[in-house]
Amino acid sequence: MQEKGNISIHTENIFPIIKKFLYSDHEIFLRELVSNAVDATQKVKRLSSLGEFKGELGDLMVEVSFDKEKKTLTISDHGIGMTAEEIKKYINQVAFSGATEFMEKFKEAKDANEIIGKFGLGFYSAFMVAHKVELNTLSYQEGAQPARWTCDGSTEFEITDGDRTTRGTDIILHINEDSEEFLDEHKLRGILDKYCRFLPVPIKFGTKTEREPDGEDEEGKPKYKEITVDDIINNTTPIWTKSPSELTDEDYLNFYRELYPMSEEPLFWIHLNVDYPFNLTGVLYFPKVKNEFEIQRNKIKLFSRQVFITDEVKDIVPEFLMLLHGVIDSPDIPLNVSRSFLQADGNVKKINNYITKKVGDKLSELFKADRKAYEEKWPDIGLFVKYGMITEEKFHDKAKDFVLLPNVKKEYFTLNEYKDKVGELQTDKDGNVIYLYSNDAAKQHTFIAAAERKDYDVLEMNHPIDTHFIAQLEQKLEKTQLKRVDADIIDNLIPKEITVESVLSEDQSKEVKELFEKAINKTTMNVDVIGLNPEELPVTVTMDEFMRRMKDMAKTGGGG
Ligand code: ADP
Ligand code: MG
């Protein structure tokens, strides 16, 4: 059999165009060809389980190999294979119509990575690195004849008899001169590791030696021999494909180590698993981070059916969740469209909301299950929760029940608990509730002590994000103001009703106050008589914050 043909397409030669648009990301050809091989393997498995393929499945491994001398790179599978008719249908027509559509719609497109797979162009990405591609295949169908297809990157193809004797397909790329980097073991391994590390079918790339126990020597010590085994580069069942009930904490931690070998252990994780109205699985980890400078963003990897797509998940997860680590796998995230489309996409929005909800649920669950453990984690998760509350209304509504406010005594309160604690005691003359906070307990300790003497509680808000968080609290809490402890504030605090017996009568206090004022003889100073017990300062003299600043300025600016 021999057949030559011409692919009908309005463009004389599509390949220069593919190359031009896809220039930035040549390496994805390997992802595309290996995923095709994996798809073909999964298909034959499915046909077998449906009883439509009755033969032996045999070894289903996909193999990637190269020959530096012949300048070829081969991807072989034991999948369903293709008949000559199918080659014409799937490789010639479908791919080319996909290509036409691609060219019409995405002349301006920049990100090849996103486009190529979805337009039935995956196979043709081979021409980014090869001047000639051969396909040697034998279909699983009974009585099928092996077929060979070759194409040199023009619109002409050739189909002849093939010579494959076992079911499946070899794709042989004759690597072009500019792309010889893809005939390098290290380079190929790196690409496979990036994109194919969690594909569901074993992928062999070369061999490796392993030590195997081999009896004992004369002294009874164990002996080993070196054996050569296939080097399988992937983990075919990463944990996100399993059910949470099958997994232990150790499994989750091991997977985290596999993804981020250098990182500290995560605090906790969330297993995502939904199949309606969209399909999504994944595991998100809360990293241990104390400040935003340490945080590494873009640590979430996006997969589509276990094929790595990108670690740019900006438009798929809410901004504040970008701080998380882990994987998301969804075949329902459109990868072939522009960013603005992605933001408007219904599925993406739903996914976004789903993840936000899951994260909120998890935090709420942790909070309810073990308050003490939750408080201990707070220094690590507080930043994240506040960030989420500030940036996501939906998350705010959930998180208001488990966000914690620590005071300077390191006691933790929920918003409601804190309202109950101070709401009636700390008010100003207009009836506003006053929450005091310190952003530097060491520097502000005199004010904190003064506030505490008036029985005011002082919150600790010493993180940069707290500025925004405080503004949000003021907006959300009714008739409540948050004020930083300083001299001005202290003077205006209305002390809580004194319950302890005073050693001085009201008249005596007034007398002492006047006495002090007279002695100091400065209107810029405030005198307060508190002294109820001998441990406390009986009288404090404070200076107006404004006056104090003026004085400081005069001292430094005036030059004596
Ligand atoms: P897509 O994978 O998106 O369908 P491709 O251009 O990657 O587009 O592949 C086109 C078609 O060629 C596939 O849908 C499949 O029918 C066929 N094909 C490609 N590679 C193989 C293979 N290794 N084994 C069997 N069929 C294949
Ligand atoms: Mg494909």
pLDDT tens digits, one per residue of 455-509: 888 899 888 888 888 888 888 888 888 888 877 777 767 665 544 455 677 787 7
Residues 57, 287: Cα–Cα separation, whole Å: 43
What tokens does 516 get? 């002090």
Report which residue type is found at 447: F
In the chain, the percentage of residues whose pLDDT exceeds 90 is: 40
pLDDT at res. 383: 86
Q: Which H or E run includes 405?
A: strand 404-406
Determine whether 158 is exposed, middle or buried from the number of CB atoms within 10 Å of its CB (0-12, 13-18, 19+).
Answer: middle
pLDDT band, residue 132 (cuts 50/70/90): very high
Instruction: Report which ligand 1 atom has the smallest distance to the Cα of 37.
Output: 23
Q: Which of 32, 90, 138, 164 to mutate to test the pocket of ligand 1 (most atoms within 8 A of CB)?
A: 90
Most confident range (mean pLDDT) of 104-113, 390-399, 461-470 is 390-399
Q: What is the dihedral of CA 154, 159, 165, 166, to 10 degrees?
A: 60
Q: Which ligand is nearest to the CA of 124?
A: 1
User: Average pLDDT in the 291-312 region?
Assistant: 77
User: Average pLDDT in the 126-137 region?
Assistant: 93
User: Average pLDDT in the 525-529 region?
Assistant: 68
pLDDT at res. 337: 44
pLDDT at res. 298: 66
531 versus 316: the higher-pLDDT residue is 316
Q: Whose CA is nearest to atom 1 of ligand 1?
A: 120
Q: How far is the CA of 289 from the centre of ligand 2 (A)?
A: 39
Q: Determine if ligand 1 sits within 6 Å of the CB of residue 135.
A: no
User: Which of 187, 195, 179, 28 is closest to 114 using CA atoms?
Assistant: 28
Q: Determine if ligand 1 sits within 6 Å of the CB of residue 32.
A: yes
Q: Whose CA is nearest to atom 3 of ligand 1?
A: 120
Most confident range (mean pLDDT) of 386-400, 428-442, 520-534 is 386-400
Q: Is 297 annotated as a binding residue?
A: no
Q: Is 98 annotated as a binding residue?
A: yes
pLDDT at 7 > cutoff 70: no
Q: Is 339 annotated as a binding residue?
A: yes
pLDDT at res. 371: 94
- Strands 480-484 and 525-529 come out as unpaired
pLDDT at res. 14: 60
Q: How far is the CA of 41 from the centre of ligand 1 (A)?
A: 11
User: Average pLDDT in the 10-32 region?
Assistant: 67
User: Average pLDDT in the 357-364 region?
Assistant: 93
Most confident range (mean pLDDT) of 240-244, 295-299, 334-338 is 240-244
Q: Determine if ligand 1 sits within 6 Å of the CB of residue 79.
A: yes
pLDDT at res. 68: 96
Q: Which residues of 194-222 are buried (b: 16+ CB within 10 A; e: fewer)?
A: ebbbbbbbbbbbeeeeeeeeeeeeeeeee
pLDDT at 113 > cutoff 50: no
Name the average pLDDT for the chain. Answer: 82
DSSP sequence for 320-362: GGGG-EEEEE-TTS--SS-HHHHHH-HHHHHHHHHHHHHHHHH
pLDDT band, residue 422 (cuts 50/70/90): confident
Instruction: Report which ligand 1 atom has the smallest distance to the Cα of 43.
Output: 25
User: Which of 339, 474, 509, 130 is closest to 461 using CA atoms?
Assistant: 474
pLDDT at res. 420: 85
Given the structure tokens 């453990």, which residue do they identify? 373
Does the ipTM exceed 0.95? yes
pLDDT at res. 23: 46
Most confident range (mean pLDDT) of 182-191, 423-432, 484-493, 500-509 is 182-191
Most confident range (mean pLDDT) of 269-273, 307-311, 340-344 is 269-273
Q: Whose CA is nearest to atom 15 of ligand 1?
A: 90
Residues 52, 44: Cα–Cα separation, whole Å: 9
Q: Determine if ligand 1 sits within 6 Å of the CB of residue 76.
A: no
Q: Which H or E run includes 210?
A: strand 203-216
Q: Which ligand is nearest to the CA of 125?
A: 1
Q: Whose CA is nearest to atom 9 of ligand 1?
A: 123
Q: How far is the CA of 395 from the centre of ligand 2 (A)?
A: 38
pLDDT at 112 > cutoff 50: no
Residues 530, 207: Cα–Cα separation, whole Å: 83
187 versus 394: the higher-pLDDT residue is 187
DSSP character at residue 146: P
- Strands 480-484 and 433-438 come out as parallel
pLDDT band, residue 358 (cuts 50/70/90): very high
DSSP sequence for 524-559: TEEEEE---STTS-SEEEEE-HHHHHHHHHHHHHH-
pLDDT at res. 128: 86
Q: Determine if ligand 1 sits within 6 Å of the CB of residue 99.
A: no
User: Which of 436, 368, 431 is closest to 405 using CA atoms?
Assistant: 436
pLDDT tens digits, one per residue of 33-89: 999 999 999 999 989 988 889 999 999 999 999 999 999 999 999 999 999 999 988
Q: How far is the CA of 274 from the centre of ligand 2 (A)?
A: 25
Q: Which ligand is nearest to the CA of 37?
A: 1
pLDDT at res. 309: 83
Q: Whose CA is nearest to atom 20 of ligand 1?
A: 36
Q: Read off φ and ψ for residue 79, nearest 5 degrees.
A: -85, -150
Q: Determine if ligand 1 sits within 6 Å of the CB of residue 133.
A: no
What tokens does 473 get? 């609290």
pLDDT at res. 518: 80
Q: How far is the CA of 368 from the centre of ligand 1 (A)?
A: 50
Q: Which H or E run includes 416?
A: helix 415-422
Whether 96 and 192 have beta carbons less than 8 Å apart is answered as: no
Residues 185, 464: Cα–Cα separation, whole Å: 47
Lowest-pLDDT choice from 433-437, 452-456, 494-498: 494-498
Most confident range (mean pLDDT) of 190-199, 260-269, 528-537 is 190-199
Lowest-pLDDT choice from 116-125, 192-201, 274-283: 116-125
User: Average pLDDT in the 213-220 region?
Assistant: 90
